[in-house]
Structure 1
């Protein structure tokens, strides 16, 4: 059993690392075409981002691998594969519940990481990326990576979700993590400045966090930033 669990953890670590390199690589390449020269002179920083991200991949991959083994072999989780097990309307609802729960945890843990002590100990690693690049999405100190790694593995014990919807959640998490750090706005202006866009976090919103530090702490939604009056809007074009 323990050998199988270890192999599952190693396999998931490799998957997380490959997902990171694939997603960040695609958007770094897009950046070189859309904003040529934006990352000029940042090669040493990018290498550091990659190094920290590989450490984070292991920290994310190990609990994910253990939970994946438990789901497949011991029925530990509430992940389901039968599309008829819950009403169809529950599919998008489950995605929203996961994203909102993750966003809530991220907002408060992220804000906590900006306390002077914890910023010096851990979060300074992420903010050492000046400016952040598409490779910075997982560039975390191990302590900070651990706070992020427990969320989804915990939620699968609390909220039922179809395996395909879980894949969608992980895809959105990866997409937002990379695109929010790449230094330019991928989404069209009409969306970013629309009523809907006013509740979503994109690169324009998160860039201001990296510029000013004490604002814009959210991951997917601006709900907590608005409620707690930490939303300072979008970065200047």
Structure 2
């Protein structure tokens, strides 16, 4: 009994710690890009103080939702060897390192595209996704501004994948970094990436602020997270907007 109790306590502490880490990461990264916005586009967020405070409040709750499953999985990996996360770079061929990065991003993007479309069903939209679309226009603080129901759909993806797809711990860190940076930059309200990339053949398949801004303007298009593959395949791609 004592061992079980201590295990549950350790798992709970890991979940709490991870929620704190996710929250700190949110404030650090969104704060950094908000600062960059104030320098690159002075006045872009002028008059949006109440909206930004709401975004921060919802994001704080989302940090808890994201942190709990991630913390439990992290504890299970370290204490019991759960998951297929590995630390020895020689455990898998070197080509698997970049391949696993793409597999994770594409799997996450696929899950996001289809759950995002479901979130736009009228009843579900009113119950949950309307929170995110209340950001008009979105800001650097809006990337995690979700109702807890929607946050839960995003929080389970990577924790589930680590049980299914082998990944080096360093590549997993890169997945989380890409997820964080793309989530923020897609909501900044201005295009941080070079025009020649956004309008290139590569850019035709990548999502940046110019693409996601149109989703926030029209709602029924541009549902992807990283890639435009599913939008192109399902004829929901409406091209680029012109962020302010």
Q: Give TM-score, length-normalised by structure 2.
A: 0.97
Deviation of the 1:3 alpha carbon: 1.0
Look up the match of 1:187.
Answer: 193
Structure 2 runs not aligned, ≥5 long: 1-6
Look up the match of 1:95.
Answer: 101
Deviation of the 1:74 alpha carbon: 0.6
Deviation of the 1:206 alpha carbon: 0.2
Tell me how large the CA RMSD over aligned residues is.
0.5
* In 1: Cα distance, 2:147 partner to 2:209 partner: 22
Structure 1 position 22 matched with structure 2 position 16: no
Look up the match of 2:3.
Answer: none
Look up the match of 2:114.
Answer: 108
Deviation of the 1:2 alpha carbon: 1.0
Deviation of the 1:106 alpha carbon: 0.1
* In 1: Cα distance, 2:25 partner to 2:93 partner: 31
Aligned residue runs from structure 1 range 37-52, under 5 A: 37-52=43-58
Q: Give TM-score, length-normalised by structure 1.
A: 0.99
Aligned residue runs from structure 1 range 114-193, under 5 A: 114-193=120-199
Deviations 1:101-147 (A, max 9, x none): 00000000000000100000000000000000000000000000000
Structure 1 runs not aligned, ≥5 long: none
Aligned residues: 237
* In 1: Cα distance, 2:29 partner to 2:235 partner: 32
Structure 1 position 85 matched with structure 2 position 91: yes
Deviations 1:39-62 (A, max 9, x none): 000000000000000000000000
